[in-house]
Structure 1
Amino acid sequence: MTTNNPTNSVTVLGLGLMGRALAGALRRDGHATTVWNRTAAKADDLVAEGATLAASIRDAVSANTLIIACVSDYEALRDLLDPVGDLLDGRVLVNLTSGTSAEARETATWAAGHGAAYLDGAIMAVPAAIGTAEAVLLHSGPREAFDQHEPVLRSLGTTTHLGEDHGLSSLYDVAVLGLMWSILNGFLQGAALLGAAGVPASAFTELAKVSATTVAGWLPAYAEQIDQGAYPAFDSTIDTHLGAMAHLVDESEALGVSAELPAFIKALGERAVAAGRGGDGYAGLIDQFRKPSEVGA
């Protein structure tokens, strides 16, 4: 198969739900798209829309200069491409597979060993949002490679280049996941508490949304404090927060609702107070998050 060099042509490896969404968005935006998957039948709808199904992984890689991969994990990516590593020289590999920052950096070294420019990426969207502005895609790695292929990558959603460090996309990804789970777990805790009094979760939803929006508005000031290393208490001190944390634990236990999450939050507050941070604002808890976890703690 002859290599397509135009900057609007691309190969997509992996056609799970997200991979098919990526390939579909690229094709709909007018990019010549070659696709490959171990189960070829997953490409049927894409081929009907004008995509080209490569007969082999070798044909898929050799078809285009830009290769976008979305597979199960980093090990699967390397297992897939190792047999055709001789074809990677001079190509740009964009990996949208989820993993850790260490895996991203290791894969960048592996790709460089095959002569490929490597961009690690993270997708902040569900498959249905791909191709819209709601889909946020993060990229890290060589800026030159990103700039060269940004018009194609932009077809997938709102794209951002975070920096040359290949691990940044994965770090941002897990940071956002931690934020997401914290918000959702807080909502579930509240719904469980109210449910013990016969209040349906739906009755809590609007207040929860307003509260989440209010808290989100505090983040820029918190970020400034963290970056400056100073934590003035604009509203409440950690000492004051600790009292309210105790109320949450007590209420959970009294109602027969799990107190594990509130107890952990309270433990963080207690550690901060023990470290002399009781008079600081809540952002002073950052020191507790910066410490490595104690095994068995």
Structure 2
Amino acid sequence: MTDTPSDQTRDRARPASPTPLTLLGLGAMGTALAEAWLAAGHPLTVWNRTAARTEPLAAKGATVAATAAAAVAANRLVVVCLLDDAPVEEALAGADLTGRDVVNLVTGTPGTARARAAAVTARGARYLDGGIMAVPPMIGVPAAGPYVFYSGSRALFEEHRAALAAPAGTRYVGEDAGFAALHDVALLSAMYGMFAGVAHAFALVRGESVDPLELAPLLSSWLTAMTGSVTATARQLTAGDYTKGVVSNLAMQVAGVPTFLHTAQEQGVSTELLTPYFDLMKRRLAADDRNGAEDLTGVVDLLRA
């Protein structure tokens, strides 16, 4: 189950005594989170391997712990925001996790999250994994739309929901601890695919008298218009019928592929960002002539094969 934007607004507005919490890790994201919690009135204990990074937060009212173990001991709610999984293992190794609620905001894989959940719960704690859908400047700025995917202990999430919502909105995606990372990486994968297309588009016009600043709004509005296909793809996957509601069928789109490749060749631009996707389209069509009436949704099944 996921939260709606109105749920997120209620999270921030809900009156409650600010929950004390511990934060391990004060990189750019950790510092932004810390400042948001302090601004919201939450008593905060912080720890960072490089102690100098704790000083600005101490000046704002944070309590600085000398060790990670001491920081964990200070509060029931413990949030981890370190660089990657190895420092998490090291930071928690010497801490007593009995009775603690551990929220891990380190970007990782679903498998890593599930393994961490098992390890933490075996040590007597509850566990919640998180995937932050924001960059540091967005944290603590509701209008910027930051939010965090959470998965794992629902009881932990519900109990600390208001505190977790102070820096960014909350979206709970299930008891499976790996689901937050899965949602995080799924969205970011789509983002990088978009970036690849944008890079190719700008490369095509780079050698011409086309102002990138004039192309930018056209490109942006076109990509925005095309986002409607996301829901259409989801509906086709759910129904199992890839021919329903098709506007431009697979056969027609495959027939147009040479134009894209020849244009890139003429412009002296590599096709390496496009050819993998085009190759999948061709494979889907070649597998069965009837697939020509489909949308591009069948590519999803090829990726799963």
Give TM-score scaled by structure 1 length. Answer: 0.92
Is residue 20 from structure 1 mapped to residue 25 from structure 2 by the alignment? no
Q: How does 1:200-211 map to 2 (within 5 A)?
A: 200-211=211-222
- Tell me the SS of whatever aligns to 1:199: coil
Tell me how far apart the structure 2 counterparts of residues 11 and 250 of structure 1 sit (CA, whole Å). 57
Tell me how far apart the structure 2 counterparts of residues 80 and 58 of structure 1 sit (CA, whole Å). 7
Cα shift at 1:246: 2.1
Which of 296, 299, 305 is the equivalent residue of 1:282?
Answer: 296
Report Cα offsets for 1:206-257 as digits up to 9, x if no partner.
Answer: 1111111111122212211111111125211111111222211111112110
Which of 18, 22, 45 is the equivalent residue of 1:11?
Answer: 22
**RMSD across aligned positions (CA):** 1.3
Report Cα offsets for 1:16-60 as digits up to 9, x if no partner.
Answer: 111111111001001000100011110111111111111222220
The residue that corresponds to 1:295 in the other structure is none
The residue that corresponds to 1:119 in the other structure is 128
Contact 2:22–2:74 (Cα < 8 Å) also in 1: yes
Tell me how far apart the structure 2 counterparts of residues 69 and 242 of structure 1 sit (CA, whole Å). 47
Residues 13, 50 of structure 1: alpha-carbon distance in 2 compared, 3 angstrom cutoff: same
**Paired residues, what number?**
284
Which of 278, 283, 291 is the equivalent residue of 1:266?
Answer: 278
Question: Structure 1, unaligned stretches of length 5 or more?
Answer: 1-5, 292-297
Contact 1:35–1:53 (Cα < 8 Å) also in 2: yes
Is residue 71 from structure 1 mapped to residue 82 from structure 2 by the alignment? yes
Relative contact order, higher structure (CA 8 A, sep 6+): 2
Is residue 39 from structure 1 mapped to residue 53 from structure 2 by the alignment? no
Contact 1:74–1:107 (Cα < 8 Å) also in 2: no
Cα shift at 1:75: 2.0
Q: Sequence identity, in percent?
A: 36
Tell me how far apart the structure 2 counterparts of residues 246 and 36 of structure 1 sit (CA, whole Å). 57
Which of 123, 131, 135 is the equivalent residue of 2:146?
Answer: 135
Cα shift at 1:7: 6.3
Contact 2:18–2:43 (Cα < 8 Å) also in 1: no
Tell me how far apart the structure 2 counterparts of residues 15 and 247 of structure 1 sit (CA, whole Å). 50
Question: Structure 2, unaligned stretches of length 5 or more?
Answer: 1-16
The residue that corresponds to 2:112 in the other structure is 103
Which of 114, 135, 148 is the equivalent residue of 2:159?
Answer: 148
Report Cα offsets for 1:165-186 as digits up to 9, x if no partner.
Answer: 0000111111111111111110
The residue that corresponds to 1:218 in the other structure is 229
Tell me how far apart the structure 1 counterparts of residues 151 and 158 of structure 2 sit (CA, whole Å). 11
Tell me how far apart the structure 1 counterparts of residues 18 and 129 of structure 2 sit (CA, whole Å). 19
